[in-house]
Amino acid sequence: GEGVLLGRSALVSADLAAGRLVRPFDLALKSAASYYVVYPEGALRQKKVRAFRDWLFAEIAADWVSAPKSQAPEAS
């Protein structure tokens, strides 16, 4: 199909790399939005919670490293 999409780089980077999406302009906008991982105190003692959190952080780190500089999030 044809159309226009405004999307977060973390969510579209794989499709850009695979050629399913194209960037018509070399332009990236910073978003003030953030994601937070929230869990009850002591939850990390549960193996499944710790495993999920560790997996999530590893996925984020992998996306950050592989993103082109114009798309990589800035540390704050």
Give per-residue pLDDT as tens, 16-53. Answer: 889 999 988 888 888 787 888 999 999 999 999 999 99
pLDDT for 76 equals 45
**CA-based nearest residue to 63, from 11, 5, 6:** 11
Contact 23, 16 (CB under 8 A): yes
Q: Report yes or no: 10 and 3 within 8 Å, Cβ to Cβ.
A: no
Distance CA 55, CA 25 (A): 33
pLDDT of 60: 82
List CB contacts of 24: < 8 A, sequence separation 6 or more.
none
Tell me, what's the pLDDT at 8?
Answer: 82
Q: 53, 37 in Cβ contact below 8 A?
A: yes
Q: Is the pTM of this model over 0.75?
A: no
